[in-house]
Amino acid sequence: MAKEIKKPKKPDEPDLLPAMGLFTILIPMLLSMTAFQKLAIVEVNLPERSNMIMDDTPPEPDQQALNLSLAVTTDYLVIGARGGFQPNVYFKEMWTFRCKTDAKLITYAPEDVKAAVESGHGPKCQDGSEMDVEKYIYDIETIELWAIQKESEEDPGRVIWGMYSSQGEGRPDSAYLDGANNFLALPGEGPLGLQKPAALKLPSAGTRVSTLSENSERALKPDAAASNIIYALSAYDVIAKDLIAIHTQFIDLEDVDNIIIVANDDTQFDKIIQLMDRAKEAGFTKINLAKLGG
Amino acid sequence: MRKTRKYSEDVPFSLTSMMDMMTIILVFMIKNIDAEGQLVTQAENLVLPNSTSKIQPKEVSLTVVVDNGFVVVDNEKIVPTADVLAQDSLLVEKVNTVLQDRRQIEKDHALANNLPADEAGHIIVQIDKNIPYDAMYKVMATCGFSGYTNIAFAVMMKNGGEE
């Protein structure tokens, strides 16, 4: 008699319904506790009241104090210390919007946006649609300050382009510096230097670069080298580099951690926060605010 | 005639793929969970600036909001922002009156609970990122004048707080 060959029985699936029930309860609960955008705070100091007895004669300037200030005007940023000023860091302000219709980023000069708004149109998105002419200001994702190289006060200047690591969507993250602590950057071509310079080539894998962060020098890995971009050098980065150098150079001074940010009346709050961030990262822990000419 | 395929009636409903999906969602949720809760919540009609700061507020503080329309103290519209910009004085009178009242209440509450009442008040200022420095400075000066000298600006963590 032929032996009957038994087919292996398919294993039974475990009963997953109770687990599903648990998940269905857990997910809405966790969803209610999830924070997709986290808020933080930036602490700021009010100007301190002096304990000195004031008389008619102004006090002698403290030769041992740094008295560091960082001024922001409509055209440039400048660092002042001990009564002197560093060269102005000129910039061209640019607004990057995130459109609600296509969720894509688009960058415009403020004067172009204002001209469009005056003619009754909102700034245009990449898909051709227009932003709300009343509420376009809420679509500004970043206010960028593109560093400009100027030969004289009258010179309109040329945008400086630099090497950046990318944070996706073609947006810059960290600026690259070479071994001599100079930005890998060149002035742009064409009118106002708005075209990327052809001579500026992205660093290849293995090139030694650093960023503004401490001890960041490394050889570029192939995947990092492939994702780098050329983007307009940020005036914030130029100022951050100077602030780091100043903080390191005058580390022994008593007021080395103090900085006063001075701004015009019409300076947007976003610029103040960006400068406070750069100052904190450079090691200035005590930040005061003051008005320009006030 | 085309032959229709017959399916057995007792095909079990497979939950395995659904379980995989749920597991992924669960892991994502656990990663983003904020167990401590938020002591500051963002006001409406306001875009806060992005910042690299990761400092979290340690206690619930009085909040002043400055948007394009109004200066708001504790959800109460106090004065139009345009009026603040138009005035010459650094002190915003209406805001100062409200803040001094709140500060007095805080001091009375501290005394009633045997806590030091003369400490500087804490305040969190939420300012729209496009608000001019002039309005910010006047509101900040008013906060300082009314006894809230520990001032912090609310900001949005860059990249949602991811490293």
* pLDDT bucket at A52, cuts 50 / 70 / 90: very low
What is the C-alpha to C-alpha distance for residues A144 and A63, in angstroms, rounded to an integer? Answer: 36
Query: Taking 80 as the threshold, does the pLDDT of residue A89 lie above it?
Result: yes
Stronger pLDDT, A154 or A71, i.e. the higher one = A71
Chain A residues within an 8 Å CB radius of B136: 269, 272
Chain B residues within an 8 Å CB radius of A142: 50
What confidence tens digit (pLDDT) does each residue in B110-163 have?
888 887 777 778 899 999 988 999 999 999 999 988 888 889 999 988 866 555
Q: What is the pLDDT of residue A102?
A: 86
Residue A268 touches partner B, C-beta closer than 8 Å: yes
HSE (side-chain half, CA atoms, 13 Å) at B10? 0
What confidence tens digit (pLDDT) does each residue in A207-246 have?
888 898 888 888 888 888 888 999 999 999 999 999 999 9
Q: Which two tokens mark A272? A: 């103040």
Q: Does A273 contact B155 at a Cβ distance shorter than 8 Å?
A: yes
Rounded to 5°, the CA angle A249-A253-A255 comes to 110
What is the C-alpha to C-alpha distance for residues A286 and A282, in angstroms, rounded to an integer? Answer: 12
A271: closest CA among A174, A144, A172? Answer: A144
Interface of B with A in 112-141 (CB under 8 A): 124, 127-134, 136-137, 140-141
Query: Taking 70 as the threshold, does the pLDDT of residue A98 lie above it?
Result: yes
Task: Give domain limits for chain B.
Answer: 50-161
Task: Give domain limits for chain A.
Answer: 69-291
Nearest to A267 among B15, B132, B154 (CB): B132
* pLDDT bucket at A54, cuts 50 / 70 / 90: very low
What is the C-alpha to C-alpha distance for residues A39 and B54, in angstroms, rounded to an integer? Answer: 8
Query: Which class for B88: exposed (0-12), middle (13-18), buried (19 or more C-beta within 10 A)?
Result: exposed
Closest residue in chain A to residue B19, using alpha carbons only: A20
Query: Taking 60 as the threshold, does the pLDDT of residue A188 lie above it?
Result: yes
pTM across the whole model? 0.81
Q: Which two tokens mark A188? A: 């742009």
Nearest to B29 among A30, A37, A270 (CB): A30
Nearest to B47 among A40, A138, A291 (CB): A138
Residue B69 touches partner A, C-beta closer than 8 Å: no
ipTM attached to this prediction: 0.79
Residue A41 touches partner B, C-beta closer than 8 Å: yes
Interface of B with A in 17-56 (CB under 8 A): 18-19, 22-23, 25-26, 29-30, 32-35, 37-38, 40-42, 47-56
Q: Per-residue pLDDT averaged across B24-45, rounded?
A: 75
Which residues are paired to B122 by β-bridges? Answer: B150
Q: What is the pLDDT of residue A63?
A: 65
